[in-house]
Structure 1
Amino acid sequence: DYTGTLVRNFTQPLFKLPGRSAIDLLASWVGNCNVGVVLTTTQYEQGYYTAREAITIASCFSAVSLPFCLVIAALLKVDHLFIPFYAILTITGILSVVIMTRIPPLSKYPNEYYAPVGKQVNEVEPQGITKSQWALKLAVERAAAAPDVKGVLNKGIDMFLGIVFQLTPLVMSFGTIACILATYTPIFQWLSVPFGYYLQMLGVEEAFAAAPATIVGFVDMFLPAVLAANIVSLKTRFIIGILSLVQIIYMTEVGTLMITSKMPVDFKGVLALFLEKTIIALPIIVLLTNIFGIA
C-alpha cells in the first residue's frame, strides 16, 4: 500500500497498472513464476486489480527465476554472455509489455474489478494531504489488519501445497507428450514454418532449424532450449534462449494457472497472448542482440 501509492505515477502511464503492482511485478520477475501468478490472481480476487490488470501482470511479468535463466543460458552454451543475455531479456520484457497493454487482446479485457468484492484499492490521495502522508496512512491501516505470524505461515503453506499438487501432474503429462511429439513427429516443424520465414526475414541464421523452438515454448519453457541446443550458430542460440524466457506463457505452469483462476481468460486467450508476445519480442531481441555485438 505504501509503495503502491508512491509509484503510481510511474506504473500507470508506463504499463497502465496501479502502483501497488510494482511489488507484484518485482516479485513475479525475480522470483518463481508460479508464485507470481498466484500472487496476482489473489490480488484480483481481493479487489486490488481489474481483470485486465491481473491478466497483464500474469502474462507479461511472471518470469522465471534468475538462477533458471542461467540454467537455460548454460544449456545453450551462451552462459559466458549472461550479462548481455539478461540485460536484453529485461529490456525486451519491459518494451513488449508497454506495447501489448495498448493493443488487443490485452486492451480488450474488461477493466473491471472482481464482482463479488468490488474495488478495494484507493491509491489517489485526497485533496489537502500529500502523497507520502496518504501512503503512510494506508500502510498503517493495512499493518493493523494484517494476520499474525501463524496466519501468514498457514496461508503460505496452503498456497505452496496447492501449486505443487495442482501443477506436478500437468508438468509431467504435458512435458512428456511434448517431448514425444518434438522427438518423434514433425508436427512442430509443420506448425513453425511461418516463424521460420519470420526469423529468416529478421536475418536470423538457421532460421528454419530454430523455428520449432519459437512455438514449443507454449507447452513448456524448457523445451525451446532443448530443441535449440544443437544449433550451430551461437547468435541464434542466444536469441532463442532469450525468447523462451520472455514468452513466459506455457501450459505446464503459467498458462494452466491463468486458465484455472477466476480471471476471465481461456485457452484461446492464452494462446493469442503467447503468439503476440513472440511476434513482438523477436525483432526487439534480434535488434538488441545486434546492438550488443553478439555474433
Structure 2
Amino acid sequence: MSERDILPPGSSVPRTPLDSPAPASLRSEKLLSKPIALIQLIVCSAIGLVMFFVPFTIGDKSTILFDHGATYLVTQQHTLSVTLLFLLMIFGVGKPFIDGSWRKNLTHKTLTVFKIIGLVLAVMYMTGTAPAYMMEADMLPFLFEKLALPVGMIVPIGALILAFLVGFGLLEMVGVLMQPIMKPIWRTPGSSAIDAVASFVGSYSIGLLITNRVYLQKQYSAREAVIIATGFSTVSAAFMVIVAKTLNLMEFWNVFFWSTLVITFIVTAITARIPPISLFDNDVERPPLDHTRGKRLAAAFDLGLATSRQATDLKKILWSNFRDGLMMAAAIVPSIIAVGLTGLLLAKYTPVFDVLGLLLYPFTWLGGLPEPLVAAKGMSAGLAEMFLPALLLSEADILTRYVAGVISISSVLFFSAMIPCVLATEIPLSVGKMIVIWFERVALSVLLAAAFGHFAMYVGWMA
C-alpha cells in the first residue's frame, strides 16, 4: 500500500528516501484514523526528542534522560549491569556458531575469534587473573568499565527509545525538510540529519544503529551508509567536555565546541567525494525528490502522517528496536574489549603508531605545529582509542592541544569501539578501508584545525 492509497483522492505525497519507513513485518494493512495518527505522531516524536536531545540535570550530571538511566545501571546497579553485560557477551560469542555466520568470510571469522578473546579477557578482568600489564588502569579496567559496560547498557536502552524517533513519522518529515541541505553538501538523504544529531547528543553506537536499520530497509545506498557511518557517527557532545578538560581547553569551550563541529562536517563533505568512499555503490531504489518551492513543509507533514497511520502495533515496533539493540550490543561488547586491548597494547609497547605518525608528519608540519613529529605520533594513537591523543598531548602547547582535541572528535574511527561497532552492522566496510578513511579524516582535520587555531590565536580567541 502506498502513501497515495492512504490519502484522500486528489492528494499527493512526493516520495522520500524513506518511503518504506518500517519493515513489512511491522506494518499493517489496517490504518489508524488521521486524528489518532496525528496524536501518535506528535506524542511519540515528542517523547523521542525529549529523551534523545534535551539534557536534564540529575545530581551533578547534565545529560539526556536515557544516558542517566544507563549511568544509573552502571554506577548504582553495578553487579546487575555486569551480569547483564556477561549475558550479552555470551550470546554475542555463541550466535555466530548457532547461525553459522562465522563461516561467511574472513572478516566474520576474525571477528568471531576476537569475540571469544573478548569474553575470556572480561572473565580474566573480573576474576583478577589477567597479567599485570593488562590490569593497568589504562588497559582492561578502562576498556571494561569506561567503554564496554556503558556501551552494553546504552545501546539496548537507546534502541528502545529510538523507536519513537524512527517509527512514527518524524524521520520521514526530517528527511523531506533536510534534503536541500544534506544532499548537495554531504551527498546523503535528508533523514541522515537524525543520525548525525543522535550521535552527537547521544552515542555513536546509537547513530550507527539508526544507520544500519535504515540501510537494511534499503533506504540508504551503500555509499550513503558509509558516508553517514564514517562521517557523522562521532563521539557525543558530553565526551567532548572530557576531551576539553583533559587538554585544558575549557576556558575556550565555545571556540573548541563549534569549530570542532564545523571541521568534522567539512571533512565529511570532502571524504564523501574522494576514494575509497566515492567508489562505493550508490544505487538505491528511491525515487528522486522534486518538491515545488513552498510545498516542502506540507509534503513533510503529509508523509509523516501517512507513516504514523501505518504504525498500528506499538509493542511490535518497540520490541523490534529493542531486539536490534540487544543484537548490536552483543556483537559490539566482546569486540570492544579484544580489539581495544590490541590497539592499546600496540600504542603503548610497540612502535606501530610511531611509524604511522611519520605518515602524518607532513600534515602537522604544514599545519605549523611547534613540534610536528611529536604531535603526529600522539595523534596517530587515536586509531587505537580516540582519547589517546588528548592523553598523550595534554602537556603540549596550546595550538597542538587544540588540534589534538579536534582530531579526537573528527577522526570518528578508532579500534577500541567505533570500528568494532561498524563491523557489527551490515554496512559494507572492511577494516582496511576504514583505516584509509581514518587517515584521510585525520590529515584533513589537522590542516583545517591548525589553520583555524592560528587564526583563533591571532584574533585572541585562544591565548
Global fold match (TM > 0.5)? yes
Deviations 1:132-190 (A, max 9, x none): 33322211121112254433432343233334332222222233233333223333212
Match of 2:446 in 1: 282
Residues 1:258 and 1:171: Cα distance change in structure 2 (over 3 Å): closer
CA distance, structure 2, for counterparts of residue 183 and residue 266 of structure 1: 25
Match of 2:305 in 1: 140
Match of 2:341 in 1: 176
* Residues 1:45 and 2:216 aligned together: yes
Match of 1:225 in 2: 390
Deviates more, 1:185-194 or 1:276-285: 185-194
Out of 195, 210, 217, the residue aligned to residue 375 of structure 2 is: 210
* Residues 1:271 and 2:442 aligned together: no
Deviations 1:46-81 (A, max 9, x none): 011111111001100001111111011112222222
* Residues 1:242 and 2:409 aligned together: no
Secondary structure of 2:175's counterpart equals helix
Cα displacement (A) at 1:123: 6.3
CA distance, structure 2, for counterparts of residue 160 and residue 236 of structure 1: 38
Deviations 1:9-64 (A, max 9, x none): 22111111112222222222322001111210110110111111110011000011
Cα displacement (A) at 1:125: 4.7
Residues 1:187 and 1:266: Cα distance change in structure 2 (over 3 Å): closer
In the TM superposition, 1:10-29 aligns within 5 A as 10-29=181-200
CA distance, structure 1, for counterparts of residue 346 and residue 236 of structure 2: 27
CA distance, structure 1, for counterparts of residue 253 and residue 320 of structure 2: 36
Q: Which amino acid aligns with 2:389?
A: P
Deviates more, 1:140-149 or 1:276-285: 140-149
Q: State whether residues 38 and 257 of structure 1, in contact with CA within 8 Å, keep that contact through their aligned partners in structure 2.
A: no
Cα displacement (A) at 1:278: 1.1
Deviations 1:114-142 (A, max 9, x none): xxxxx3x5562578x93333322211121
Match of 1:65 in 2: 236
CA distance, structure 1, for counterparts of residue 423 and residue 325 of structure 2: 18
Residues 1:140 and 1:178: Cα distance change in structure 2 (over 3 Å): same
Q: State whether residues 30 and 63 of structure 1, in contact with CA within 8 Å, keep that contact through their aligned partners in structure 2.
A: no
- Cα RMSD, aligned residues only: 2.2
Gap regions ≥5 residues in structure 1: 114-118
Match of 2:207 in 1: 36
Match of 1:56 in 2: 227
Cα displacement (A) at 1:222: 1.8
CA distance, structure 2, for counterparts of residue 264 and residue 239 of structure 1: 31
Out of 90, 93, 98, the residue aligned to residue 261 of structure 2 is: 90
Gap regions ≥5 residues in structure 2: 1-171
Match of 2:119 in 1: none
Larger-gyration structure (1/2): 2
Secondary structure of 1:251's counterpart equals coil
CA distance, structure 2, for counterparts of residue 72 and residue 172 of structure 1: 21
Q: State whether residues 179 and 191 of structure 2, in contact with CA within 8 Å, keep that contact through their aligned partners in structure 1.
A: yes
* Residues 1:260 and 2:431 aligned together: no
